[in-house]
Amino acid sequence: MIQIQQIHHVAYRCRDAKETAEWYKKNLNMDLLVCIAEDRVPSTKEPDPYMHIFLDAGCGNILAFFEITGSPPMDRDQNTPKWVQHIAFQVSNTESLVAAKAELEAKGLEVIGITEHGIIRSIYFFDPNGHRVELTCVIGSAEQMKHLKEIAPTMLNEWSRTKQPPRQAAWLHKQEFEK
């Protein structure tokens, strides 16, 4: 049986590897860990020169980007709303989230939020490549998280059947989380 230890890295495309590394260092304090440059894609042998950068996202997590020179300019999936695809990072608490928002705004970034999601609070902004970035803190109790895990299969089955928000979703917003 496969046993995952953690996500090693998640990779996205970027317009400019140097600009991206500098932006993540300046705004989210992520250090550049490794750069790999190739003329061919190792897994497919296709000729497509690239720079692959790896950034330290904390606690052994790595955020990676590819700058690709042999492909058309990058763009996002135009059939998917901008808010769907995003990179989310966790901060320790609400105070850290408030401080991060102030710091990012002082650096000139437009920040959406603080947005309440019942069990988490989040802020949102965009990196220089157009990727939406989220900073979030967990505010749900262990009991709330346990309950959500218990009802998750039922919610997913109901969604799959109806393609409508399940009845259990109302619980998230109307009962246990209102304080």
28-65 pLDDT per residue, tens: 999 999 999 998 888 888 888 899 999 999 999 999 99
Would 93 be classed as within a structural domain?
Answer: yes
- Give yes or no: residues 61 and 92 share one domain: no
- Give yes or no: residues 134 and 155 share one domain: no
Q: Mapping DSSP to helix (H, G, I), strand (E, B) and coil, where does residue 17 land?
A: helix
Dihedral sign computed on CA atoms, order 91, 105, 82, 123:
positive
Alpha-helix runs per DSSP H in the chain = 17-28, 94-106, 142-162, 167-174
Q: What type of residue is 111? A: V
- Give yes or no: residues 92 and 125 share one domain: yes
Would 155 be classed as within a structural domain?
Answer: yes
* Residue 27: partners with Cβ closer than 8 Å, 6 or more residues away: 104, 107, 109
- Give yes or no: residues 32 and 61 share one domain: yes
Most confident of 19-33, 45-59, 144-158: 19-33
pTM, entire model = 0.87
Would 115 be classed as within a structural domain?
Answer: yes
Would 112 be classed as within a structural domain?
Answer: yes
Q: Give residue 112's domain range.
A: 86-138
- Give yes or no: residues 152 and 134 share one domain: no
